[in-house]
Structure 1
Amino acid sequence: MPRQAGVKAYARASVPGIALLAALAVGSAGCSGGTTGEEGTPDSKPGEASAAPAAPGKYRTLPEPCRNVDRGQLKAMLPGAAALPEDQQRKLLAGEPAVTFDTDRRVGCRWKAESPDGAHQLVVDFERVVSYDGAVSDDDRAQRVYADLLTEANLPAPRESAPVTSPTPGATAPSDGATTPPGGPSAPPTGSASASPSGTPGAPDPAELQPRTLGGLGDVAFLNDVLAKVGSSSAQDRTVTVVFRTSNVIVTIKYGEQPGRTDQVPDSRTLQDRAQGLARKLAEQFSGSE
């Protein structure tokens, strides 16, 4: 075959191969155009930046509650400890650690003291909340956990003051300024109760001792106060619970008393004051560990 004819035949044979390579190149460019890395996913818009991950929580570890409750405060909250021999008192105040699977996520401690005058129990629990959702911060997740605890507590609605009414026509005004309607003394004011949280029969029910949300303690906080009978006996047990959130940590304190006599009612004010005092000290410790 002449040389010129051979070149022409080779060129004709190469045309389909060149066309195939060109088609593959075009196809490859078309596919890569919809999956740009930094530009975003196929649904992203040009110039749209990806959302930054939510901020992590302030606390990465938890303190040991058995070691972080002041011994002097423990003695005040557990009066029965003072009557124990020194070795038993030391063991009681050391507390009993809660059994948990991950001490970086949850820790707790329990104390209990008994005496002829009654039994006192204290439980302290720390929970470090971690969000596994990149769009939800640890603090936001902790707030949801706190909100669930608040809902479960089912606190009563804040009590409103009795409305002020005008004196009844014809009523006499005693020396103390109160008005007495004709025909006898006035009825008890709205909101009075047969027994107060402090256990005094016939005393008014102080609004400041009712289960309620608390201010000035952590980021958010609430207090619950429950008085219940012990089994089928007439003995009564009172448990005061204080819960507060500080960043991504939930702190729960449960402080209870069961009097030695069945005709006694645990004093609400004393239990609440002690539980809130401990809560404030723990909140200060967390603030100091930032």
Structure 2
Amino acid sequence: MRRRASTYATYRTYVKHTGLALALAGALTTLTACTGPSGSDGDDAKPGDDSSSASAAPPGKYRTLPEPCGTVSISQLKDMLPGAEAADDGSDGDSDSGSVDPSPSPFKGEATVTYDTDRRVGCRWKNATTLGTRHLNVDFERVVSYDPAVSDDEQAERLYDKKASKAEIPVTSDGASGQSEAPGEGESPGGATPDGKTSADGASSGGAKDDSATKRNHRSPESSDEGNASEGEGSSPSPEGELAPRPLDGIGDTAFINDKLDTEDSGLHRDVTLVFRTANVIATVRYDQWVTDKHRIPDSKELQDKTHDLAVQLAETFEEE
């Protein structure tokens, strides 16, 4: 009897453990079914849905930048640096003898030092005469967005708008006009169009260009004569009306020009800056004139015309790529 009782107790223990194991297996099966793959009912995120994965914004049009010191032709440099031709002896500034270095050609240009030439490059030129000094600087920045939801072009447009806002130019990407006090202090008689582009007379850039705006933005024949090219010639102390800081048409995707006259003790000089954007590249042209005689105010129209002509040529260079 003891043997049978012992066998019976062992059997009960086996059955009890086996039942517990089966119960645990059933519970695990039910839990797995309730927490199935994302394709099961009750899960909003389905494979292939736009909500589960967003496509990255397209890359910018331009992947490289031009060699900056080669973007301005000799003829343009002669026009923008009066007197430089007389100072040019055809030398590049190097001396084989090592004794006396000849003066470098004012047409050679000096490359701007940058950390990444794939992202930003520039070049500057300078010519000084007894009447004053002129400086020319071109700068190209290739904008890259690190946000997959924002394209390079959109990021470049945002950066351009910041530059325009800082210069008090009424240009914004959403089409809202900036607020300024009066013409000559950053306000333009024009306004921004719904697509973010502006025209000098307030007309939409999608329509026909106004003849007066075209004539204003095109250099007049009188501005290229010898008398107007001499250092210090001019009569406008500050830009007003058509010469006031303003958005421009016909240069890249969008552009603006700024004009400032500085009469501080450091010297009398007028600084003209033209910025334009083409796709994901922002180009800046800076052109200034310093004069030794403070009674001879640098001519705003002459400097703006020459800056405008160069910017048009640079924008066309990008369009050819």
Contact 2:68 2:121 in 1 (8 A): yes
Measured against aligned partners, the alpha-carbon deviations of 1:88-134 in whole angstroms (never above 9, x if no partner) come to 58643221111111111111111111112321101111111111111
Partner of 2:265: 231
Aligned partner (choices 50, 57, 60) of residue 54 of structure 1: 57
Matches within 5 A, 1:39-188: 44=45, 48-49=49-50, 50-84=53-87, 85-87=89-91, 91-155=105-169, 156-159=186-189
Task: Report the count of equivalent residues.
Answer: 243
Partner of 2:224: none
Measured against aligned partners, the alpha-carbon deviations of 1:61-90 in whole angstroms (never above 9, x if no partner) come to 111211221122112111232111221586
Partner of 2:182: none
Partner of 1:220: 254
Structure 1 position 281, deviation (Å): 0.8
Partner of 2:294: 262
4+ long deviations beyond 6 Å: 4-9
**Structure 2: stretches of 5+ with no match in the other structure:** 94-102, 170-185, 191-232
Residue 157 of structure 1 aligns with an amino acid whose one-letter code is: E
Deviates more, 1:256-265 or 1:89-98: 89-98
Residue 240 of structure 1 aligns with an amino acid whose one-letter code is: V
Q: Aligned with 2:113: secondary structure?
A: coil
Change (3 A) 1:13 1:135: same
Alignment partners' CA distance in 2, 1:15 and 1:92: 97
Contact 2:235 2:298 in 1 (8 A): no
Structure 1 position 22, deviation (Å): 3.3
**Structure 1: stretches of 5+ with no match in the other structure:** 161-197
Residue 248 of structure 2 aligns with an amino acid whose one-letter code is: L
What's the TM-score once normalised by structure 1's chain length?
Answer: 0.74
Residue 68 of structure 1 aligns with an amino acid whose one-letter code is: T
Aligned CA-pair RMSD: 3.0
Contact 2:236 2:299 in 1 (8 A): no
Alignment partners' CA distance in 2, 1:141 and 1:219: 14
What's the TM-score once normalised by structure 2's chain length?
Answer: 0.67
